[in-house]
Amino acid sequence: MDLKNVASLTFFCPEIILSVTILLIIALDLIAQSRRWPAALALIGCLCSLIVSFDLYSAQPGLLFHRMIVLDNFSIFFKVFSLSATILCILMSIGSNEIDKVHEGEYYALLLTCTLGMFFMASSSNLLMAYLSLEMVSLGSYVLTGFLPHSRRSSEAALKYLIYGGVASGTMIYGMSWIFGMTGSMDYAAIQLALSQEGINKAALFIAFIFILAGFGYKIVFFPFHMWSPDVYQGAPTPFTAYLSVASNTAGLAIMIRFFFPGMSKLLASGDWTATAGVEWPQVLLALSMLTMTIGNLCALNQRNVKRMLAYSGIAHAGYMMMGLAILNNEGLAAILFYAVVYMIMNLGAFLVVGMVSNVTGDEDIDDYRGLAWRGATVPAICLAIFLFSLTGMPPFAGFMGKFFLFSAVVKQGGAFAVLAIVAALNSVVSLYYYAKIVKTMFLDSPLPEDKQVTMAANNFTLLLPLTFLTILFGVYFGPLVQYTNYSLRFFIK
């Protein structure tokens, strides 16, 4: 199926609904006075879009808008994923004191614009579309990072994000220009066809890939493009940090999988992929993945700010997920998708508790968590402990299963990948130290008299308990999710 503009609109409903919601929020923002409606409207828009996305499974996979966008199970998976993350983030924003201080109409409009950009990131099948979607997410993210008025941290974070993002995406399009020059086309399928012929300069192609990795790497947050993330995570409003750490990260993985797998590799019948033109990018990813997880975990060890620590832990998790890319087969990709879902649940849960505490204390310093369990917040403290142990990868929580699938896919490859698996296992042990440090602070340290009582609003509980439940559920009953991620790994290749 290769559709023209008007015929494509039938299969474009989730995006249309989201766009209409964004425009409605902007327009109504000029008229309405009440404070709660933008969040409600954004939620309704996301839910409608989610329902319509599931409808698309019955449609035939194909290319839309003159081969700009591809519709297949993989892109629908990421629509569902980004929308789920957005819905959770909106619910988190409703319970956050930080968001109360900002202009809510603009906040939700920009948030949904980022989500719309993520839809395109996961489904672009053209170099131009890849760049535009990446920038769509980035521009919204810069603004939302600096959204807190009169906050030095927030503005500083936005400036750093903008400079890193601008350089990274500029480097990426410079690399893309070389690919365009070598192949004469922007379309992934045509590029692959051109690359599989003789006479391609491998060294030039390799350098172009490295340049393009800069753009993807800054979205996924892997070494050496990770420097912005601790500052941005610390400075941005907490609900948006949570959104950035799961949705933006994973959208980066989606665009990278889309570019390197259906775009630059060939699928064999066995479920393995081979890199076209013999360019050694999987080895580069292998090395980067080891460095990313090690640096993320080592830097997290002595952080005092919990948001900053979670930023470094996010870098480490990006490293784990990249292992699945380096091994070049469908099993690894399925493990990435499974891990992404699990990571979304546990990481959003952790940020939810961090947001609850900073609502009361106004900061995220680890001292604010002293004796949290004995300051009226026993349930959130227990939930945070579960999320953190799950992030470490301890059974019986979901994080364990996520790591299990990733590691087993890597170990099966043997050779240099066995070393990768060992490095990753050692890293998990290191990460236990800083996750357990917070748990120790919450339960074993006794609170000082000046520590404030942390009381929880009801709407926070309605989000916290389901997330905890899912973290435990996917650790013991993961069959349906595994099936769903395997089902989502069907690319439309032409």
Residues that bind other proteins (CB under 8 A): 127-128, 131-132, 135, 139, 142-143, 146, 150-153, 155-159, 162-163, 166-167, 170-171, 173-174, 176-178, 180-181, 184-186, 230-231, 234-235, 299, 302-303, 308
Q: Which residue has the tokens 């989606």?
A: 254
Please, which residue, 173 or 310, has the CB nearer to other proteins? 173
Phi-psi region of 155 (alpha: psi -120 to 50; beta: other; left: phi over 0): alpha
Q: What CA–CA distance (Å, rounded) separates 246 from 469? A: 19
CB of 291 to other proteins, least distance (A): 18
- Residue 124 is given by DSSP the state B
Token pair of 25 as six digits: 């929020």
How many angstroms separate the first and last alpha carbons of the chain?
10
CB of 464 to other proteins, least distance (A): 28
Please, which residue, 61 or 165, has the CB nearer to other proteins? 165
Please, which residue, 297 or 471, has the CB nearer to other proteins? 297
Please, which residue, 233 or 405, has the CB nearer to other proteins? 233
CB of 152 to other proteins, least distance (A): 5
CB of 50 to other proteins, least distance (A): 28
Sign of the dihedral through C-alpha 369, 371, 375, 380 = positive
Please, which residue, 167 or 267, has the CB nearer to other proteins? 167
CB of 361 to other proteins, least distance (A): 18
CB of 163 to other proteins, least distance (A): 6
CB of 186 to other proteins, least distance (A): 5
Please, which residue, 167 or 493, has the CB nearer to other proteins? 167
CB of 217 to other proteins, least distance (A): 16
Please, which residue, 309 or 336, has the CB nearer to other proteins? 309
**Residue 270, phi then psi, degrees to nearest 5:** -75, -5
CB of 415 to other proteins, least distance (A): 36
Residue type, 116: L
| CA 401 vs CA 119, 275, 477, 491: distances in Å | 27, 29, 10, 25
- What are 138-145's contacts with CB under 8 Å, separation 24+? 138/165, 138/169, 138/219, 140/110, 140/111, 140/113, 140/114, 141/114, 141/165, 141/244, 141/248, 143/110, 144/107, 144/110, 144/111, 144/114, 144/236, 144/237, 144/240, 145/232, 145/235, 145/236, 145/240, 145/244
Q: What CA–CA distance (Å, rounded) separates 353 from 360? A: 11
396: preceding bond cis by omega (within 30 degrees): yes
Please, which residue, 36 or 152, has the CB nearer to other proteins? 152
Q: What CA–CA distance (Å, rounded) separates 15 from 75? A: 12
Q: What CA–CA distance (Å, rounded) separates 447 from 445? A: 6
Please, which residue, 170 or 396, has the CB nearer to other proteins? 170
Which residues, including other chains, have CB under 8 Å from residue 388's CB and lie 6 or more apart?
350, 435, 436, 438, 439
In three-state secondary structure terms, 187 is strand
